[in-house]
Amino acid sequence: MAAIAQTEGDSARAREMLNESVALYREIGDPWSLSRALNTLTHYELAQAKITEAEGSALQALKTAAKVEYNLNALEALANLVTIHAQQGELRKALELAFFVLDHSASSQGAKKRVQELRSELES
């Protein structure tokens, strides 16, 4: 539903819906869905240039996923942190995380593709 709201140009409603999802998954104790929703929220915050909020959401996603060993969601959060660190001018941190995501066998193709593109930009 948040994706539909975003497609219709209602970013505020999309973010509100994602925040509701995060709260619900916390309440019912579903760490997989919670970490996934936090990663999605991170994408929305990055798209709106809300870097501080995005970093907080990405770190929450990472901690939640890592705690229960949901590697796919943890690696997605790390891929988001690559973008965040790059935008904050923390190029060394961004590159270190990029190499980790690229080398990890559990990283999704989407995460690897995003990180590879950003790594190429950072190295040049």
pLDDT of the residue at 10: 64
Compute the distance between CA of residue 116 and CA of residue 74 in angstroms, rounded to an integer.
17
pLDDT of the residue at 48: 87
Which CATH number belongs to the domain containing residue 63 in this structure?
1.25.40.10
pLDDT of the residue at 2: 63
pTM score, two decimals?
Answer: 0.89
User: What's the number of domains the chain is made of?
Assistant: 1
Q: How confident is the model at residue 121 (pLDDT cuts 50, 70, 90)?
A: confident
pLDDT of the residue at 3: 61
For residue 90, what are the domain limits? 2-123
2-45 pLDDT tens trace: 665 556 566 778 788 899 999 999 999 999 999 999 999 999 89
| CA distances (Å), origin 90, targets 57, 96, 103, 117 | 18, 10, 20, 17
